[in-house]
Structure 1
Amino acid sequence: MAIIHPSAVVHPGAELDENVEIGPFCVIGARVRIGAGSVVGPHCIIDGVTRIGRNNRFHGSSHIGCAPQDKKYRDEPTELVIGDGNTVFQFVTISTGTTQDGGLTCLGDDNWIMAYVHIAHDCMVGDHTILANNTTLAGHVHVGDWVFLGGFTTVHQFCRIGPHAMTAFTAAVTQDVPPYITAAGNRAAPAGINSEGLRRRGFDAGQISEIKRAYKLLYRQGLSYEEARAQITARAAERPELQPFVDFFPQASRGLIR
């Protein structure tokens, strides 16, 4: 049975699984479903067509499932889907999708979304990410698994950030960031690979060395993009840690950071 504070306003149409906790002065909309073990802190608003999985924690004053900040939006019943085990801190805003894309915003599992983060309409955020304070994702951004976005990172609409990538504090991302790469500056440029993050995730020295070699092919040896892509793709047949590059290249529609 859900535990609902007397001051909270929960629409009768909302679906709350067992052991969900709804804190003081929350507002839960009619088309919201919240999975077992999730906790919604004080003053949160969860609205829209929003499906939330199990064991999520929303700290105070977040607005989840808010309408897209898109002037083309006409109150269509687009969705927000959130997985399991996420922690969402104060004043985070996450919008539902728009019909101009797939009508869906998605946040995966085990993500750490820090205060004042904005995840706009139609974004796709994977698993095990960290979005540090004041990170802003414009519409249609895709963020891969195990990505770390430093504080005050801003990401232009339609950009993609590959798995295990990282951005530095105040990075302004206007093009696609390949897997494993660290991006820094305004405009964001490549600044090596996320080697410390890879070590923490169990990548061995040989794997990290191969990823560094791929980075040099892309950015340090004067090759064209097509030449570097061909060499990395060929090497990935023997080194599976390079496969994320191969998967990423066809999706990089805005061009790689340079």
Structure 2
Amino acid sequence: MRGSAAVWSQDVPTRQGLKTVLEDLGIQPVTCHSGQEAMELVMARRCSTLIVDFDLPGAGEVVKMAALLEPPQKPLLLAVASRAWPGTGQAFQSGADRILYKPLDPTQIKDAFEISRKLRAKNRRKAPRHEMKTVVYFELETGTLPAIGIDISEHGLAVQATEPVPMLSNLAFRCVLPGTDHELHGHADVVWASDQGRAGLFFSRLAPSARKLLKQWLGKRGASRKDAARAVAVPQDASACLVASE
């Protein structure tokens, strides 16, 4: 995984430029013909870097989906964009770690890898995901769909429902944050969903008061986790266990 990068771009100069620099860095580029193929490589942990060309339709959804993954699945996310709207704007809003502008410059690519890796490590410390066992209600045109929360961060949440969650944008949701009587509500985009009812959502609209509430709750959970970590020593030979995605 560490030595491969999934590249989704149909632009030949872009692919060639990336190939040259990536190989110099000891990274094997893997050309993908669709966003789905790129995500499958990432989900299977065959690629630790995902590079997406925002001149392609659906690029933003792919990056948002990848941004919701937990380490060690979550890849380094690099967006390739032309200096024109809407590609550049979508790249900024996607959650990519770094944006590479066309025409690509080798130094720009190398710097992006160095800087973005440092930022990702810093962001993981600042905004981790936390377990959230509570009922989440989604408001659909056909009625209310309940689901059980799996985990949550400042940027989104993952849930398990009894039926497939529809792929919708700005889906209204509400839930009570565990350990409190405070209700969190807002809107989110469903960026991935399985036939078994699991889904990942990226917050599209949260009121300032809701963001503040969530941030405070996450902060308290983070403090509790640190206290627990001090009390429980993890064996050095322990390995991470990752639940396979459906």
Structure with the greater relative contact order (CA < 8 A, sep ≥ 6): 1 or 2? 2
TM-score, structure 1 normalization: 0.24
TM-score, structure 2 normalization: 0.25
